[in-house]
Chains A and B, each alone.
Chain A
């Protein structure tokens, strides 16, 4: 088991953003995290990556307890992440952005070559010398992915890396994610686009108001009336399923 989260809780004042969450991810898996806005998905990522300390519970990664460690220590151990609001390093070039990631695992020369490889994977190599703030949103999302990939993570956390993209762009991003997964990186991804998740994830976890309400294959999970109520709304007939899952 690569990642195991046990009884994880996080409160912001009176708001319980996460309530005793348990989840796991085995090596090589792609797991989707779904849930309405405000369900605690991004908070879950921030706690796993060390940006927020949890109030209770434990995160174990690769048999090491990483609860309460700093973000950079966690990156060293092999967890990479992207941000929902992309954080391109605007005044640096695309190549330099990715090198900031690849420098974690090598000297400048290796970092440069690794960065070009990452840019090839996400299809940005022809823009390597553009300034990051000259890219459009699609390319910025890819750049974000390339930089995280540059740290050679065993586990990659993707926070809505397909939001705002059109269907053909989503298809190409799905291809990229699958490619990354085939190269041996496990993936935990937050996404609202159900068909995209259904297309790629081996398993999904559904959060609602900070609680995990379901965990299983996409097909099983959406049979669960609680999930349908939380995510799609009660009283919806089942025709959405044939549409979204086909």
Chain B
């Protein structure tokens, strides 16, 4: 519903359309991040690795080999999920921060690779994507189409998150996050489920990377594998509500405009002032709303009349 409303606004003018597309891409990416970072509680700080790999694989296939982006998109997702499986398999069997560290390292290594493999990736210069509009090329003439693509992407990831959360896997990932020993004692193969979560999250992040690349029409190592993108994904998820289905989505809907507004209002005074204010706001949100926006919403609901009704419905057996 919200996406529908945004679409109507997006029709008004191309500036809004662009802005809404970037917001919805971020929403989708945060939702994808949430699967491994929120549900499974494995903090990744290098999700740009999956984002960049998806983009690079698909764009290289298109520009160098002439393979349709619609097919390259699947290849990009597959490459990202392979990478997710690789990192996950090696590090998710260990407890503690190894996964976070490994993801940062992988994103850095991939950036250095992308800079140095000049014949394939174009090095630091990057690759320009020639505009060939058409649905199978994932490229369009009107800006509004990209808002639609971003909206579709965000919806898809949201839908997958919802299905995941209410399935066996959702219960298992949450149990692993809360207490791995307890989870294993009731028969949950925690390394396998965590790796699976990493794969799904990586594939969806990779898909986001592909779609984003055909929107910007240009990829280069510093923005694709940037630490900032990784941190932004994690941050939006945390502010929105780690491990909740809708939290990251609303997190993006609030933070992306906030960044833009602050930049517009404060950008003219001192360079960097808007970042300072943004940081202070984030610190305040994290200290006063540790479960994010979704946590606040849930708390309000829990104390209302709504909760009683909910419980009465829920306790009845199916």
Task: List residues of chain A with CB under 8 Å of any chain B CB.
Answer: 49, 51, 70-72, 75-76, 80-81, 83, 87, 89-92, 95-96, 99-101, 103-104, 107-109, 112-113, 116, 125, 128-129, 147-148, 150-151
Tell me if B182 and A116 are in contact (CB < 8 A). Answer: no
| A75/B186 contact (C-beta < 8 A), A89-B175, A100-B172, A116-B317 known | yes
Tell me if B185 and A148 are in contact (CB < 8 A). Answer: yes
Tell me if B182 and A147 are in contact (CB < 8 A). Answer: yes
The 6 closest A-B pairs by CB, nearest first: A75-B187, A89-B178, A87-B182, A71-B184, A104-B187, A101-B186
Tell me if A80 and B317 are in contact (CB < 8 A). Answer: no
B179 is contacted by which of A87, A108, A116, A151 (Cβ under 8 Å)? A87
In angstroms, Cα B185 to Cα A89, docked, is 13
Tell me if B187 and A76 are in contact (CB < 8 A). Answer: yes
| A83/B185 contact (C-beta < 8 A), A100-B171, A103-B172 known | yes
A sample of 21 inter-chain contacts (CB < 8 A) reads A71-B184, A72-B184, A75-B186, A81-B185, A83-B181, A87-B181, A89-B179, A92-B174, A100-B175, A103-B172, A104-B186, A108-B166, A108-B168, A112-B317, A113-B317, A113-B318, A116-B315, A116-B317, A129-B310, A129-B311, A147-B186
| A70/B315 contact (C-beta < 8 A), A89-B175, A89-B178 known | no
| Interface mask (B270-310 → A, CB under 8 Å = 1, otherwise 0) | 00000000000000000000000000000000000000001
Tell me if A150 and B182 are in contact (CB < 8 A). Answer: no
Tell me if B315 and A129 are in contact (CB < 8 A). Answer: yes
- Interfacial chain B residues near A99, Cβ < 8 Å: 171
Taking the complex as formed, is B145 at the interface, i.e. its CB lies under 8 A from any CB of chain A?
no
Given A72-B190, A100-B174, A108-B167; 18 other pairs, CB 8 A cutoff: A71-B184, A72-B189, A87-B181, A90-B178, A91-B174, A92-B174, A92-B178, A95-B314, A100-B171, A100-B175, A100-B186, A103-B168, A103-B172, A108-B166, A108-B168, A125-B315, A129-B310, A129-B315
B178, B186, B190 — most chain A CB neighbours (10 Å)? B186
- Interfacial chain A residues near B317, Cβ < 8 Å: 112-113, 116
B 188-240 contacts with A by CB, 8 A: 188-190
Taking the complex as formed, is B183 at the interface, i.e. its CB lies under 8 A from any CB of chain A?
yes
A49, A83, A89, A125 — most chain B CB neighbours (10 Å)? A89
Which single residue of chain B is at the shortest CB-CB distance from A100?
B175
In angstroms, Cα B188 to Cα A71, docked, is 8
Tell me if B181 and A100 are in contact (CB < 8 A). Answer: no
Q: Shortest Cβ distance from A68 into chain B, in angstroms?
A: 15
- Interfacial chain A residues near B184, Cβ < 8 Å: 51, 70-72, 75
In angstroms, Cα B70 to Cα A213, docked, is 71
In angstroms, Cα B317 to Cα A76, docked, is 26
Q: Shortest Cβ distance from A80 into chain B, in angstroms?
A: 7
In angstroms, Cα B166 to Cα A171, docked, is 38
Tell me if B178 and A91 are in contact (CB < 8 A). Answer: yes
| A151/B171 contact (C-beta < 8 A), A109-B318, A112-B318, A113-B317 known | no
Which single residue of chain A is at the shortest CB-CB distance from B168?
A103
- Interfacial chain B residues near A96, Cβ < 8 Å: 171, 174
A151 is contacted by which of B172, B186, B310 (Cβ under 8 Å)? B186
Q: Shortest Cβ distance from A245 into chain B, in angstroms?
A: 33
Which single residue of chain B is at the shortest CB-CB distance from A98?
B186
In angstroms, Cα B314 to Cα A113, docked, is 11
Q: Shortest Cβ distance from B51 into chain A, in angstroms?
A: 28
- Interfacial chain B residues near A76, Cβ < 8 Å: 187
In angstroms, Cα B311 to Cα A90, docked, is 19
- Interfacial chain B residues near A81, Cβ < 8 Å: 185
- Interfacial chain A residues near B311, Cβ < 8 Å: 129
B185 is contacted by which of A75, A90, A109, A125 (Cβ under 8 Å)? A75
- Interfacial chain A residues near B178, Cβ < 8 Å: 89-92
In angstroms, Cα B93 to Cα A70, docked, is 13
Which single residue of chain B is at the shortest CB-CB distance from A51?
B181
In angstroms, Cα B310 to Cα A112, docked, is 16
- Interfacial chain A residues near B183, Cβ < 8 Å: 100
Which single residue of chain B is at the shortest CB-CB distance from A101?
B186
In angstroms, Cα B181 to Cα A148, docked, is 12
Tell me if A80 and B182 are in contact (CB < 8 A). Answer: no
Which single residue of chain A is at the shortest CB-CB distance from B178?
A89
A70 is contacted by which of B172, B186, B189 (Cβ under 8 Å)? B189
In angstroms, Cα B310 to Cα A80, docked, is 32
- Interfacial chain A residues near B185, Cβ < 8 Å: 49, 71, 75, 80-81, 83, 148
Tell me if B182 and A89 are in contact (CB < 8 A). Answer: yes
Q: Shortest Cβ distance from A231 into chain B, in angstroms?
A: 28
In angstroms, Cα B61 to Cα A219, docked, is 79
